[in-house]
Amino acid sequence: MTEPFDVLRGIRARFFGGGTPGGAAPAATAAAEGERAAGSPFLAIVRKEISDHVRSWRYVILVALMLLTCLASLYTASSAMRSAVSTDNAVRSFFFLKLFTASGGSLPPFITFVSFLGPLLGIGLGFDAINSERSKGTLSRMMAQPIHRDDVLNAKFVGALSVIGVMFFALGFLVMGLGIVLLGIPPTPEEVWRLVLFLLLSTVYVGFWLGLSILLSVRFRQAATSALSCIGIWIFFSVFFSMLVNLIAGPGPADPNNAEAVIRHTQWVQLLERISPSQLFSEATTTLLVPSVRALGPLTMEQIVGAIPSPLPLGQSLLLVWPQLTCMIAETLICFAISYVLFMRQEIRSRN
Amino acid sequence: MKSSWRFCCKPVLMLAALLFGVFGFGAAAGAAEGDVSLYTPYASLSAPPGDSISYSVDVINNTSQIQTVELSLDNAPQDWKAQLTAGGRAIQKLSVKPKETQTVNLQVDVPLKVDKGAYTFTLTAKGAASLPLTVNVSAQGTYSTELTTTQPNMQGTAGSNFNYSLTLKNKTAGKQLYALKSDAPQGWTVSFQSGGKDVTSVSVDPNGSQDISVTVTPPDGVKAGSYKLPVSAAGNNTSAQAELEAVVTGTYAIDLSTPSGNLATDITAGSTKKVTMQVKNKGSSPLKDIEMSSNAPVNWEVTFEPSKIANLAPGASTQVTASIKADKNAIAGDYIVSMTSKTAEKSADATLRMTVKTSVLWGWIGILIIIAVIGGVYYLFRTYGRR
Q: Spell out the domains of chain B, with CATH numbers in brackets.
A: 2-137 (2.60.40.10), 144-249 (2.60.40.10), 254-357 (2.60.40.10)
Contact B385 A325 (CB under 8 A): no
pLDDT tops 80 at residue A305: no
The 10s digit of each residue's pLDDT in B347-384 is 888 888 888 887 788 888 888 988 999 999 888 888 88
pLDDT tops 80 at residue A6: no
Residue A98's pLDDT band (cuts 50, 70, 90)? confident
What CA–CA distances, in Å, run from A28 to A2, A7, A10, A25, A273?
Answer: 16, 12, 8, 5, 50
**Alpha carbon of residue B323 to chain centroid:** 54
CA neighbor of B365 nearest in space, from A319, A333, A282, A205: A319
CA atoms of B386 and B12, how far apart (whole Å): 177
Of B353, B370, B385, the CB nearest to A326: B370
Q: What are phi and psi of B286, to 5 degrees?
A: -65, 145
pLDDT tops 70 at residue B11: no
Question: Scanning every residue of chain A, which has its alpha carbon at the shortest distance from the alpha carbon of B333?
Answer: A312
CA atoms of B51 and B118, how far apart (whole Å): 14
pLDDT tops 80 at residue B29: no
The 10s digit of each residue's pLDDT in A265-274 is 888 888 888 8
pLDDT tops 90 at residue A35: no
What CA–CA distances, in Å, run from A351 to A200, A215, A224, A348, B371?
Answer: 40, 22, 19, 9, 40
The verdict on ipTM greater than 0.85 is no
Q: Are strands B189-194 and B197-199 parallel, antiparallel or unpaired?
A: antiparallel
Residue type, A277: P
DSSP class of residue A23 equals -
Of B297, B357, B376, the CB nearest to A337: B376
Mean per-residue pLDDT, B8-23: 47
pLDDT, residue A82, reads: 66
- The length of chain B in residues reads 387
**Across A87-91, A153-157, B367-371, least confident range:** A87-91
Mean per-residue pLDDT, A140-149: 82
If one compares B33 and B37, the residue with the highest pLDDT of the two is B37
pLDDT tops 80 at residue B7: no
Residue type, A247: L
DSSP letters, B223-245, are PSEEEEEEEEEE-SS-EEEEEEE
Contact A46, A153 (CB under 8 A): no
For chain A, what are the domain ranges?
A: 1-54, 56-297+310-345
pLDDT tops 60 at residue A234: yes
Contact B384 A341 (CB under 8 A): yes
**Across B181-185, B319-323, B380-384, least confident range:** B380-384
Exposed e or buried b per residue across B313-339, where buried means at least 16 C-beta atoms within 10 angstroms of its C-beta: ebeeeeebebebbbbeebbbbbbebeb
Residues of B in contact with A325 (CB under 8 A): 366
Q: Which residues contact B53 (CB under 8 A, 6 or more apart)?
A: B45, B47, B107, B108, B109, B110, B135
- For residue B148, is it left (φ>0), alpha (ψ between -120 and 50) or beta? beta
- Residues B87, B91, B97, B103: is their CA dihedral positive or negative? positive
Residues of B in contact with A322 (CB under 8 A): 362-363, 366
Residue type, A111: I
Q: Which residues contact A67 (CB under 8 A, 6 or more apart)?
A: A171
Give chain A's contact residues with B (Cβ, < 8 Å).
148-150, 294-295, 299-303, 305-308, 310, 312-313, 315-316, 319-320, 322-323, 325-326, 329-330, 333-334, 336-337, 340-341, 344-345
- For residue A23, is it left (φ>0), alpha (ψ between -120 and 50) or beta? beta
- Residues A138, A141, A147, A150: is their CA dihedral positive or negative? positive
What CA–CA distances, in Å, run from A331 to A226, B192, B370?
Answer: 19, 85, 10
Of A300, A316, A334, the CB nearest to B332: A316
**Alpha carbon of residue B163 to chain centroid:** 10
Contact B332 A312 (CB under 8 A): yes
pLDDT, residue A104, reads: 64
CA neighbor of A342 nearest in space, from A41, A131, A120, A42: A131
Radius of gyration of chain A (CA): 23
Residue type, B69: V
- For residue B315, is it left (φ>0), alpha (ψ between -120 and 50) or beta? left
pLDDT, residue A204, reads: 92
The helix (run of H) or strand (run of E) holding residue A292 is none
Residue A13's pLDDT band (cuts 50, 70, 90)? very low
Contact B77, B167 (CB under 8 A): no
pLDDT, residue A140, reads: 82
pLDDT, residue A311, reads: 78
pLDDT, residue A16, reads: 43
pLDDT tops 70 at residue B78: yes
Residue A226's pLDDT band (cuts 50, 70, 90)? very high
Radius of gyration of chain B (CA): 48
If one compares B29 and A261, the residue with the highest pLDDT of the two is A261
pLDDT, residue A166, reads: 92
Residues of A in contact with B385 (CB under 8 A): 148, 150, 344
CA atoms of B91 and A288, how far apart (whole Å): 111
Residue A93's pLDDT band (cuts 50, 70, 90)? low
Contact B160, B216 (CB under 8 A): no
pLDDT tops 70 at residue B336: yes
Interface test with B, best of A208, A293, A308, A327 (most B CBs within 10 A): A308
pLDDT tops 60 at residue B4: no
Q: Are strands B129-137 and B44-47 parallel, antiparallel or unpaired?
A: parallel
Of A149, A325, A337, the CB nearest to B377: A337
The 10s digit of each residue's pLDDT in B233-261 is 988 778 888 899 999 887 788 888 888 88
If one compares B220 and B325, the residue with the highest pLDDT of the two is B325
CA atoms of A204 and A211, how far apart (whole Å): 10
CA atoms of B382 and A293, how far apart (whole Å): 43
pLDDT tops 60 at residue A298: yes
Residue type, A141: R
CA atoms of B279 and B340, how far apart (whole Å): 10
pLDDT, residue A158, reads: 92
Residue A70's pLDDT band (cuts 50, 70, 90)? confident
Q: Within an 8 Å CB–CB cutoff, is residue B353 touching chain A?
A: yes
Contact B351, A112 (CB under 8 A): no
CA atoms of A59 and B189, how far apart (whole Å): 85
CA atoms of A279 and A275, how far apart (whole Å): 8
CA neighbor of B244 nearest in space, from B315, B147, B372, B337: B147
Q: Within an 8 Å CB–CB cutoff, is residue B324 touching chain A?
A: no
- Whether the model clears a pTM of 0.90, i.e. scores above it, the answer is no
**Alpha carbon of residue B366 to chain centroid:** 78
Q: What is the mean pLDDT of chain A?
A: 79
Residue B387's pLDDT band (cuts 50, 70, 90)? low
Residue A350's pLDDT band (cuts 50, 70, 90)? low
**Helices A189-219 and A322-345, axial angle in degrees (round to 10):** 30
CA atoms of A122 and A280, how far apart (whole Å): 17
Q: Please give the angle made by the CA atoms of B344, B349 and B355, to the nearest 5 degrees.
A: 150
The 10s digit of each residue's pLDDT in B212-240 is 999 999 888 777 888 898 999 988 778 88
